[in-house]
Every structure is written in structure tokens, then in C-alpha cells.
Structure 1
Amino acid sequence: MRVLIVGAGIAGLTTALSLHAVGIEATVVDGVTALRPLGVGINLLPHATAALSDLGLGDRLAESGIATAEVIHLDRFGNEIWREPRGLRAGHRCPQYSIHRGELQAILLGAVRSRLGSGAVRTGLRFVAAESDGTGVRVRLRDREADAETDLRADLVVGADGLHSAVRAGLYPDEGAPLWNGIRMWRGTTLTRPLLAGESMVIAGSNHAAKLVLYPISAAARRIGRSLVNWVAEVRTDDPGRSAADWNRVGCLADVAPHYRGWRVAGFDVEELMAGSERILEYPMVDRDPLPRWTFGRITLVGDAAHPMYPIGSNGGSQAVIDSRVLARELARDPERGAAAYDALRRGLVNTLVLANRDMPMDHVLRLVAERAPTGFRRIEDVLGRDELRAITDGYRRTSIR
């Protein structure tokens, strides 16, 4: 069986490794001329870490990332609302890792080239169209170097080409643009002193106005007594003209810093922390409506191409990893019907997750704190009832589908 994977991101590379592990030949194509370690931080939930460890990558993850031990919610003044253990500390058999997205992609890319061969990943080939027939799929690609179109044949095509998936667009040509919820995000990384004990994720504020997420992502920085802190600023805005979704769009400190003037979180002056970033990225919080079908005969979708979702609960990359492993398992069981079986197993679960991320009880609770205690508080019990606090934990459980 020959599988052509469109997209050399986390979903595409993990799919290639998963297929190889069950004896299925795979080739990955990507439209970029060179793969570079771009992006900022990403979280891998324990079930995704377990899947990557089963592929022999556990030691590499440990060498690169931080095993997150807890998540702590604060108000904008640094007062603690709630905390909960994560990963090994929560009793999982594998850690939850916070890691640089570019380093994770490099780990996956190195493994693909080592195991599948140097020619397993081909760059500079942009997907144009795919057409199924009785014996396979004819895939039309645009060779950027030759400035010409070329055809490849495969038994199955896997669209792993992200939010703006060309494979998905071929299956759903009238879908339109991603859906924006009115929140802009700015992201950056800053090398600084350790964040708390060096293994905590901190969430402060409320996204009805401004919210901040902080977590360390580098084991190398930790080994020298420092933290490479990934920060994400979420700001609600009424400016629809700035909603174009481009992961690599450069942001401006002057646009985001004023929303956090006077904030001190986990001992950090937030404006100063942001100013320490060499590069700031700006991105809208977008998703797409769940699809009624991912698999069309010999063409299927994985990762963000199948189910782009809000970056809440550390699920984007984690669900892509699980997609890849389930697809490979089902194809190994039945090459003819495996893609359809994968669709049936995964789509309903992950579509539920996409919708759950649009209405997180956690965010409602954080907004209540901001409204009831606008100048801070001494005891969270004076602000929230036990059931309201429990809603945060319940919200995380709703968005931890495996």
C-alpha cells in the first residue's frame, strides 16, 4: 500500500511514522521549499505523549521539552483561583509535555528521514487536486522549482495540510474562510529566570477582556537554571479587519503590551516579559464548523485539516497525534476500509471537542472572578462557590478526549 501525505507538520509527520510502524509505505509532500523549526510553544497531553513514546520518541521529548506538573489559574493581580496537577503528578503513565513546536517538528522530521529514507519527505510540491479511480488516486502537484505541474499516484491520500487545507478545500469547495470568535492572540518566547518551580502552566485573567497563558518549554534552558517562557496573550477586540489566519504573521509589542499594563503574574512584570521576546507572532482565534465526513473513498483528513479548533486545553497537536495512530492501526487491519473505519472512530469524538472548546466553563468562571472581584481578592472562597470552582475541572475533562 502506498500512501501520499500532504503536509509535513505534526499531523503529517506523525502519520508517516505511524504508517511505517505498521509496514505501510508513505511519502510526505509539502509546498514549502524548506522545512524550518517555526512557531512557539505547544502542549502534548499524556495520551499523545504515550503515542509518540510508542513510536520510540519518548527520550527525545524528555530531552527537549518540560514535563508539565500543574496548571494554576490566577486573576490579573496574581491571586490564585484554582490549581490542578497534570501529567505524571495527576497519575498518568506518561508526562504532559510543553515543548517548542519547531523542536517537536524537527524531532518528527528527523525520525521520518532516518526510518523511511531521505526521500520520504519532498518539499516544494504544492497540492493542486486529487482524483480517485478504481485502482488508486491521481494527485496533481505544483512543483515550485520547475514551475510546472506533475502527477503522482497513490493508494490513499491523507490531507494533513492544516487550517487552510487544500485537500479539504477539494472535498468541500464551498466551505469558505475560518470562523473567528473575536479574540486576537499574540505569542512569544522569552528566556528569563525560572517560572515558579519550572514546571507549571499559569493562566491569568479572563478572555472576555484580556487573558494570559505562561509556561516553560525548554529542557535545555532548565539545565542552565533558566526558563524559556512561552506566553500567549488573548485579547477580545471588535476589529474584524485583523482576522486573517496566518501562523507566521509578525505581531507588534505596541499592539499587545498596553492591554497588560500594570499586570504582575507569577512574579513577572508582564509588559517586561513580552518585551524580552525576539519575535512576536499575531494570530486570530479561529476554527471551522465540524465536518459530516472526513473520508471520501481513497482520500481522508487528519489533524487541523480535519478538525481545526480553538487552542484551548492543549488539544490541537495532541488530537493530530491520536488521529495518525488510529488511521495507521485501521489501515493495517483493513487496507480497503481502514480509512472509513478511522473516520467512524474519530470524527464524532473530535467534533464534540471542537464544539466544547467554543464554550468552556473555565472561561465563564474566570469571567465571574473578574466581574465579582475587579480589584482582586484575599480568599477565592469569598468570590466563588464550590460548584463554580468545580466547573473548571469539569471543563478540562470535557476537552481531554483520547
Structure 2
Amino acid sequence: MRITIAGGGIAGLAAALSLHAVGFEDVVIHEAAREIRPLGVGINLLPHAVRELTELGLADRLAGVGVPTAELAYFNRFGRPIWSEPRGLAAGYAWPQYAVHRGALQMLLLDAVRERLGPHAVRTGVRVEGLRHDGDLLVGADGIHSAVRAALFPDEGAPPWNGLVLWRGTTYGHPFLTGRSMIMAGDGTQKFVAYPIGDGRLINWIAERPLDGEPPERGNWNRPTDLAAVVGHFADWTFDWLDVPALITAAEAAYEYPMVDREPLPSWSGDGVVLLGDAAHAMYPVGSNGASQAIIDARVLAHSLATTGTVAAYEDLRRPATTALQLANRQQGPEVVMRLAHERAPGGFDDIEQVVPYAERAEIAASYKRTAGFDPALLNGRASWSVR
């Protein structure tokens, strides 16, 4: 079988590696950009994605570029703790969780593809237009503005926007909390996220709030913005463990991204074509799941093709799962604890137990893990998608 992959991002590269691992040798990636460069800022790889990359033989390389996340902690907009939990190995997973620069991960995967499938397996400057391709199967891994998806669903239109905007940047700064903590502070409408990447001194941050008016562009992660405009919205977010305005101000650059996703689809496949990653199920960047879900897609697709010769098992498993996750993210996923704390105690609190009891907070966290596929017991006990 000859397989053409549209898109040389994380999804497409993970697909190529996964397909090669199960025995498909004739796989080529068509990437529209003339050069694949390490763009972007930080992302998280949850343990279910790290498992898949580990089973692809990339554990040591991943450890070399990722910061193993020690904890996830939520705070209100005054810096008071709402919920915290260990992450990765400390939470009982058999695999760590990593915070990593998106570009570093992409280049890691690109190097592995070229080593394993050959230097010509990735063809840059080649755009897949619609459903035209030269293989037996076309895998549409070409992102939120997928040309393959648009050919399958030509009347869909632009990605829907929920009125919020994200500003993303990186700043060299001092470690906070454990030094490997991922934090989220906010009130359900306005939010700030921070965690270390790279060598641990580089802090990736995300600032989120409603945007007045219509965004100038949807679905572009790399649109520069004015730092002064960002910091003004967070000027008084100074906590005893993190100075938010100082972190924003010290960034070399920041990028604006309107909060958009895609509607769940009734099907991901057609005659000789299948969708994967954001092309199939672009979701709000809530719960750190976008890249992780694309990697899982890649592994399940490869397993489905290797064991059944079709994409049916892949779609039957992944489409309902990611649809549930898309809808959960629209309801703020595990981050809803910040909104609940604000609604019940808008002026702050002294004892979170009196505002959002432990049992409620714990179930919110556990429910999302089940929905997203990284409940520790279920993940650790699940059979592998490797076939040889």
C-alpha cells in the first residue's frame, strides 16, 4: 500500500513513524511549507501520548527535549490554590508527562522520519489540493485549515470562534513552585497558564481573555501581537510565587490566537482518504490534549490498517472519543474548577473546601482523565497498539 500524508506537522510525522513501525514502507509526507522550521511555543505531552512515542522508540530523545511535569495546580485570580495533583510518574503512570517546545518536538519527529523512512520521505513545498494524490490512501493531517477536510466537507466554512483570545509567549525567568509545575490561574473567563520548557529556565506562558470585536485571523498560531496590550489585562496579577505582568513584559515576542475549534464530524473517511489530528477534530487548547490526541490517532490508524486492512476500526474508536473530548473542552474541561471557585467566591476565599469541596474537585479531574483517555489505571493496563 502506498500512503500519502498531507501535512508535516506533529500529526503527519507521528503518522509516518507509526505506519512505518507496523510495516508500511511506501509512505511519503507532502508539506506545503518550503522548509520545516521549529516554530511555536510550548505544548504538553500527556502520559498517553508519551506511551505511544516510547513504543515508537523515542523515549530517550523525548527526555532530552522535554521537562517532566511534576504537578498541575489551579489557582484563583488572586493566586490562592484551588486544586493540585501530581503528574506523570509521580501520579502512578508508567510514563512521564512532558512540557516541550512544539518546534523541538516537531524536529525530533522529523529527524526520526528521515532516519527511518529515508531522506526523501518528507517532500516540502508540495501542497495537497483537495483529494488529489498519488497513493492508495491519503491521510489528511493538514491541520485546522485542512484542504483534505474541506474537500470532504466543502460547505463547512471557517472555524467557529468562542469570543476568547489566547496570547502565547516564552520568557526566561526564575523557577516557581516545584520548578516543574504547570499552573493555571483565573476565574473562568480570564486565565493565565505557565510552565517551564527547554532547559527549565524558559517559561512558556498563555494569557487568555475575551476579545472585543472580531479576530483578524482564525487558526494561525504564529500571528505576532503587542506585549503592551497583553500585560495591561494582567497588571495586578502579582502573586507571592509568580509575577505575571513581569513575566509577560520580559518576553521577546508573543503570538495571538483566537480560541477556535471545529465541529465534530459524522465521518472521517471516504474512498481512499482519512482524516487525522486537527484536520479531524481540532479542539480548544484546554486540558493540554491537542498534540497528544494527534499522536494517539496516528498509532491507532496504523494498528487499524495493519490488522484489518481498513481505517474502519480507527474511526470507530477515535471519532467518538475525540468528539466527547471536543465537547468537554467547550465546557472548560478540568479548568472549570476555576470558574466554580469564582462564581461561588468572587472576592476570593480562605478555605477552598468551603467553596468547592474536595470530592467535587477530585471528580472533575478524574472525569476529564477518563474522557481524554489518560486515567492512570486504564492507561497502564491497556493493551499496546504495536503489532510487532
CA change 1:399–1:237 in 2 (3 A) is farther
Paired with 1:361 and 1:308, the residues of 2 have a C-alpha distance of: 15
1:199 Cα deviation from its structure 2 partner? 1.2
Residue 322 of structure 1: CA displacement?
A: 0.5
Residues 99 and 217 of structure 1 are in contact (CA less than 8 Å); yes or no, is this contact kept in structure 2? yes
Q: Distance in 1 between matches of 2:215 and 2:160?
A: 13
Aligned pair partner of 1:370 in 342, 347, 360:
342
Residues 159 and 167 in structure 1, CA contact (< 8 A), matched pair in contact too? yes
Deviations 1:325-363 (A, max 9, x none): 01111111233xx21221112111111111111113644
Q: Structure 1 residues 367 and 304, CA, compared in 2 at 3 Å: closer, same or farther?
A: same
Q: Does 1:105 align with 2:103?
A: no
Change in 2 beyond 3 A, CA 1:165/1:266: farther
Aligned residue for 1:357? 329
Letter in structure 2 aligned against 1:304: D
Aligned 8 A contact 1:196 1:266 in 2: no
Asked if 1:341 corresponds to 2:322, the answer is no
Number of the residue aligned with 1:260: 234
Aligned to 2:81: 80
Q: Is 1:12–2:7 an aligned residue pair?
A: no
Instruction: Specify which structure has the bigger relative contact order, considering alpha-carbon pairs within 8 angstroms and separated by 6 or more residues.
Output: 2
Aligned-partner SS, 1:129: coil
Give 1:150's aligned residue. Answer: none
Shift in Å at residue 378 of structure 1? 2.2
- The corresponding residue for 2:191 is 211
Comparing 32-41 with 73-82, greater Cα deviation is found at: 73-82
CA RMSD of aligned residues (A): 1.6
CA distance in 2, matches of 1:357, 1:368: 16
Conservation of the 8 A alpha-carbon contact between 2:5 and 2:29 = yes
1:254-294 deviation per Cα after TM superposition (whole angstroms, max 9, x unaligned): 22111111112462221110111111010011111100000
Q: How does 1:215-294 map to 2 (within 5 A)?
A: 215-218=195-198, 221-222=199-200, 227-242=201-216, 244-265=218-239, 267-294=241-268
Asked if 2 retains the 8 angstrom alpha-carbon contact of 1:40 and 1:101, the reply is yes
Question: Equivalents in 1 of 2:154, 2:342: separation in Å?
Answer: 42
In 2, Cα distance between the equivalents of 1:361 and 1:157?
32
**2:10 is the alignment partner of 1:2:** no
Using the alignment, how far apart are the partners of 2:360 and 2:46 within structure 1? Answer: 25
The residue matched to 1:154 in structure 2 has which SS?
coil
- What is the CA–CA distance in structure 1 between the aligned matches of 2:102 and 2:3, rounded to whole Å? 25
| Cα shift readout 1:214-267 (whole Å, capped 9, x = no counterpart) | 11112xx23xxxx21110111023422445221110111122111111112462
**2:28 counterpart residue number:** 27
Check whether the contact 1:74–1:81 (CA below 8 A) recurs between aligned residues: yes
Structure 2 partner of 1:202:
183
- Give the Å deviation of 1:391: 4.6
Structure 1 partner of 2:383: none
Q: Any gaps of 5 or more consecutive residues in structure 1? A: 131-137, 140-152
Partner Cα separation in structure 2 for residue 363 and residue 65 of structure 1: 23
- TM-score, normalization: structure 1? 0.89
Does the 8 A contact of 2:287 with 2:335 survive in 1? Answer: no
Between the aligned partners of 1:215 and 1:47, the Cα distance in structure 2 is: 19
Rg larger for:
1
Residue 49 of structure 2 corresponds to 48
For residue 206 of structure 2, give the secondary structure of its aligned residue in structure 1: strand
Q: Secondary structure at the match of 1:389?
A: helix
The question of whether the paired residues in 1 share the 8 Å contact of 2:287 and 2:334 is answered with no
Shift of 1:93: 0.3
Q: Which residue of 1 aligns with 2:63?
A: 62
Matching residue's letter, 1:381: E
Shift of the 376–243 alpha-carbon distance from structure 1 to 2, 3 Å rule, reads: farther
The letter for the 1-side match of 2:194 is L
Q: Provide the residue aligned with 2:140 in structure 1.
A: 159
Residue from 169, 194, 214 that aligns with 2:150 = 169
Runs of 4+ in 1 over 6 A off after TM superposition: none
> More displaced, 309-318 or 199-208?
199-208
- The secondary structure found in structure 2 opposite 1:306 is helix
User: In structure 2, the residue corresponding to 1:126 is in which secondary structure?
Assistant: coil
Structure 1 residue 398: Cα displacement: 4.5
AA in 2 matched with 1:125: V
Q: Distance in 1 between matches of 2:114 and 2:241?
A: 43
The residue type equivalent to 2:266 in the other structure is P
Which amino acid counterpart does residue 287 of structure 2 have in structure 1? G
* Closer, same or farther: CA 155–106 of 1 in aligned 2, 3 Å: same
* Identity value in percent: 53
In the alignment, the residues of structure 2 paired with residue 398 and residue 188 of structure 1 have an alpha-carbon distance, to the nearest angstrom, of: 30
Q: How many residues align?
A: 373
User: 1:371 offset after TM fit, Å?
Assistant: 3.6
Higher strand proportion, which one? 1
Q: Is the 8 A contact 2:287 2:333 kept in 1?
A: no
- 8 Å CA contact 1:82, 1:389 repeated in 2: yes
Answer yes or no: is the 8 Å Cα contact 2:167–2:257 preserved in 1.
yes
| 2:385 matched residue in structure 1 | none
Distance in 2, matches of 1:164 and 1:70, equals 33
